[in-house]
Amino acid sequence: MALLRDDLRRWGLLRSLYRRIMRRLAPVLNVSFAVSRPLGVREVRLTCAGCSIRIATREDLARAAANPALQMTPAFVDHALSRGDICAAAFDGEDMVAYTWRAFVATRHKDDVWLSFRPPYRYGYKALTLLAWRGRHLQEAISPFADQLCIERGHTMAIGFIETHNYASLTSCGRTGDEKIGVIGYLRVAGRVFPFRSPGARRAGFGFVWKPDARP
């Protein structure tokens, strides 16, 4: 009840109800805004909230994979690096406390559902900040750090998605410079996945793809 009261106070009745309905439907329905921004226009900061910001090395990622709270396994790290993905992260000393990944080719979203996109876009995924460090805007400092590397690879635009009921992330779009360019989503029925997207997302080549033979 306390969580419901907090939601009602923060988001109002209708938005709070929508949020709960979409969370219940999450196994079968995803409806998200596609968001995008140009790279290389935001200030790059080397520090934030007492942390250093840098591209994580394989050694950094190996240490992070040993910390269950960071939700990265050695197998995940090896697979991501083999694809050419990069990880920008915040460190308290040598300890990773927040991170986000950048991908340049189609990327798994969940099980047999992938996200497809094409240049000049790069896709950001799997962002996490440890609980004790949340509220310090570390993700906003990390996000632009990898931009130059992406631009050097020919990817000059960021693209991603935010679920329509993730109001906190949608609110932060104003600070990060992301703009809504369309809607993407999918419906799972009788073992099949039916992706959908709006014209704006289609023009960017961005959307969910069902790959029934894919394995985690």
Give the relative orientation of helices 2-11 and 13-25 as an angle to the nearest 10 degrees. 120
Q: Which residues contact 175 (CB under 8 A, 6 or more apart)?
A: 137, 140
Q: What global pTM score does this model have? A: 0.84
38-87: pLDDT as tens digits: 999 888 889 999 999 999 999 999 999 999 999 999 999 999 999 999 99
At 157, the amino acid letter reads M
Closest CA to 146 of 211, 58, 54: 54
Write the DSSP symbol of residue 19.
H
